[in-house]
Structure 1
Amino acid sequence: MNSVIRVTDVTKTYGTPPVTALSRITFDVQRGEFVAIVGTSGSGKSTLLNILGTLDRPSSGTVEINGIDTGALNDNELSALRADGVGFVFQQFHLREGVSALGNVADGLLYSGISKAAREERARIALTKVGLGHRVSHRPNEMSGGERQRVAIARAVVGDPPVLLADEPTGNLDSRSSDTIVALLRELNADGTSVLMITHDPVLAERLPRRITISDGNLISDVQGGGSV
């Protein structure tokens, strides 16, 4: 099976009376794909990302990650799946202030069971991979926004997850830094990581090889081809 993510009839509702955030969403992501999930604020795309990353559960429908039905897992099993199978990158970076880039990236392996020295060695390799091998001792407040996002990406991929979920990773960056981050994600994708990137920017989405458009909780279109990063 080549699907790294399979979403089938996923619906998410909140509250009473229920408000529908997602309605019967269905799609597959194949291994090695780079997919943009695009929509305006409030469209449901971030809700979808949280469900794909098993941070939230659907009200109905199924989500499979690497062939595993996430609905059949308890919270501890979901945590283990996230630790081994999914990397996260957020718009706000979520780095620990006062901690070096090396320490922030090594945090991504805290629950891996490997030694501190091994975590730091792998963090150093990940930082070099994102072009920050010379900044390992710098703290977030000593870095530009683009550099902080690269640290966040290094933390997300330090455990070599097959899937990377990026939620508006260029939202707080200038155009030059945004281009650098998208190019970096493309390099990670070329190395075999399946990348799903949430964005509200249709111009950016058009540059990507596949675009899933969400509006009012519905999947409006799923377009493949025609884009390049």
Structure 2
Amino acid sequence: MTPAPVIELRNATKSYPGGVHALREVNLTVQEGELLAVVGPSGSGKSTMLNIMGTLDKPTTGTVEVAGYDVSGLSDSRLSALRARHIGFVFQHFHLAAGRDAVDNVADGLLYAGVPLKERRRRAREALAGVRLDHRRSHTPNELSGGEKQRVAIARALVGSPRLLLADEPTGALDTASGELVMELLHELNASGTTVCVITHDNEIADSLPRRVRFRDGEIVSDTRSGVPLGPRTEGAGS
């Protein structure tokens, strides 16, 4: 049985005044449990793609469904609830709160889920243990290395048990060893059932993942999974 799509884009475009087209009729399906890269050079449209997939922005035309919900028909409050329930974000520059320890930074990922503080902190401690930072949970960001900060950010993204993790250049600000550890964690998270999408300009990272969706000039120019070409502007694996 084919698992239900986590994300589905159909003929999605994103245009701006002046005739700028960041996305051009993109069709993409991300299935439950996939591990994929959205890869392309600066200006290719992959950042716009992140915003559309994460419901941080809406397409100019076309449709986007997240967990079966057409986002165009949702109010801002329902869209925020959908995002909080189904999507976790990891960014290149961590976005951790200075002066707050790792537990509270992770617990902040549950702020909008209506979870009491004590329970938020309990779940945060569990999430930190899951990214191998149990011994650093009382440390503030200025006491952590870059790799540790990124692992805190991953724990924060995962504390609400989202179906989809969107990682935007997750190794971009890290040294090689820290970057390898972060990618190892993303593989482990995917193996445990989380759908993971890595947005990157790094072809080496992209080539290490089972599926690669390559962008150029706002279009998908190739989509491969397990080394098998799916063709340009595909609707995705299994579609």
| TM surpasses 0.5 | yes
CA distance in 2, matches of 1:84, 1:161: 6
Q: Percent identity?
A: 56
Which runs of structure 1 show a deviation greater than 3 angstroms over 4 or more consecutive aligned residues? none
Instruction: Give the SS at the match of 2:118.
Output: helix
TM-score, reference length from structure 1 = 0.97
Q: Shift of the alpha carbon at 1:112?
A: 1.1
Counterpart in the other structure of 1:62: 63
Unaligned runs of 5+ in 2: 229-239
CA drift of 1:74 comes to 1.1
- Cα distance in structure 2, aligned partners of 1:24 and 1:60: 8
Match of residue 85 from structure 1: 86
1:149-192 CA distance string (max 9 Å, x none)? 00000000000000000100000011111110000011111111
Q: Which runs of 5+ in 1 are unaligned?
A: none
Question: In structure 2, what is the equivalent of residue 143 of structure 1?
Answer: 144
| Separation in 2, partners of 1:56, 1:5 | 14
SS in 1 for 2:107: helix
Query: 1:27 matched to which residue of 2?
Result: 28
**TM-score, structure 2 length as denominator?**
0.93
Amino acid at match of 1:91: Q
AA in 2 matched with 1:7: L
SS at structure 1 position matched to 2:98: coil
Give the RMSD, CA atoms, in angstroms.
1.0
What CA distance in whole angstroms lies between the structure 1 residues aligned with 2:58 and 2:30?
19
Alignment length (residue pairs): 226
Deviations 1:22-70 (A, max 9, x none): 0000011110000100000111101000010000010011111111111
Partner of 1:5: 7
Q: Per-residue deviation at 1:18?
A: 2.4
Alignment partners' CA distance in 1, 2:161 and 2:203: 29
SS in 2 for 1:114: coil
Looking at structure 1, the residues matched to 214 and 91 of structure 2 have their Cα atoms a distance apart, in angstroms, of: 19
**Cα shift at 1:2:** 1.9
Shift of 1:226: 3.9
Q: Name the SS of the counterpart of 1:195 in structure 2.
A: strand
